[in-house]
Copies of this chain bind each other. A is one copy, B any other.
Amino acid sequence: MDILLQILLLLIAAKLFGEILERRGYPSLIGEILAGIVLGPSLLSLVAPNPTLEVFSDIGVVTLLFLSGAEMNPRAFLEKRNIAVSTAIMGVVVPFAGGILLGMLLNLSFPETLFIAIALSITSIGISIRMLIDLKQLNSAVGITIVSAAVLDDIIGVFLLGVLSAVTVQGEVTLNAVLFSVIGGILFLAFFISIGPRILRWFFSLARKTETHEMVYSVAIILALGSAFLSHFAGMHYAIGAFLAGLVLGEGIRRDRMLFDSLMDFGFGFFVTFFFASIGLLFSFSAETLLSPFFLPIIIIAVAAKILGGFLGSIPFISRNEAFLIGIGIVPRAEIALVVARVALIAGLIGVELFSAVTAMVIVTILATPLLMKKGFSVVPTIDKGA
């Protein structure tokens, strides 16, 4: 079918399902993912993943992370650095160990075990952030910790993915690739700590002096996409660069209410929707999914290990209830786990059974976490005073 028509159908279904879920008190992101599942290959087959939708989805995750960065106070973010680092490390180490344990218990091969461990380790920043936005908890102590831990978690993930690709294609070239991605990551972070912010702010202030009416808006989008590419070239997820750019430009954007609202519309009224709907498109259900012997063990370890890791990492700094909430908040896995699974399946590292089980794990964590979080926040009193 016409690609533009697929985009229109996906937008209609996602907004409709999102609204239905929201009216029943659930985060609308669940509805948007369901729209992808319903219209996609698993059910109606009206919409299929394609390069154009991928671009829409990429712009969606870039704007989502950029706007989340812009909404947050960089100082609050820095104040939370200890709890964030500790939560990120424990939030990766425990699930990774859980994956290794699972591989041993299920008698998997070394590559399979490594794959499971990595697929379990990386939290989806996109899902976590959108969940917090839907629950209006992005700027609470719990929210800031979850976001910063998820960001650091993704940076750790770069190294893990480098290791996986070194295993996928054994040889010197890939060891170089690991080294390359490590150096790339360090250079990127060094850039963003040193001159990056000044350069971004300079471009942004330049945009204010132009004749073109919508220039500030266009330049904000250009800087978000440009920073996303920088992190992508450095071997990290697009999202990291966009988030950092948002953090840096946040003050300037928030001060111009009109601009901020207009960018929010651009993101949440259009592109972000395609990120979530595309996740739904990636699922492929079959009888095997539910019959897989790995189905239950993976889900249990996936959920339990992240909660435990997040709890252990944050408990030295925060109340027990909040630490538990943080643990739940880093449970969602999504696009990275799905991409890792696809790569491993194609490389012959894992079989269809394991692939299906990871897919099922992703959907369970995505759909269950927002519900658990909603319950959690209604029990634990938190303060979201904004930035």
Residues of A near any B CB (own CB < 8 A): 3-5, 7-8, 11-12, 15, 18-19, 22-23, 28, 51-52, 55, 58-59, 210-215, 217-219, 221-222, 225-226, 229, 258, 261-262, 264-266, 268-270, 273
Contacts and interface: CB of A to CB of B under 8 A. Distances in A.
B12 A222 contact: yes
B12 A229 contact: no
A218 B262 contact: no
Contacts of A211: 19, 22-23
A48 to B, nearest CB: 13
Nearest to A23: B211
Contacts of A213: 268
Contacts of A23: 211
Contacts of A262: 261-262, 265-266, 269
A175 to B, nearest CB: 25
A222 B55 contact: no
Taken together, the copies of this chain in the complex come to 2
A11 B58 CA distance: 16
7 contacts: A7-B55, A19-B211, A22-B212, A28-B212, A51-B51, A52-B55, A266-B266
A217 B269 contact: yes
Contacts of A261: 258, 262
A229 B59 contact: no
Nearest to A18: B212
A12 B23 CA distance: 40
A15 B218 contact: yes
Contacts of A11: 218, 221-222, 225
Given A3-B55, A266-B266, A8 B222 contact: yes
Contacts of A264: 214
A113 to B, nearest CB: 33
A1 to B, nearest CB: 11
Nearest to A11: B222
B225 A58 contact: no
Contacts of A19: 210-212, 215
| Residue with the greatest number of chain B CB neighbours at <10 A, chosen from A19, A215, A218, A269 | A269
A219 B15 contact: yes
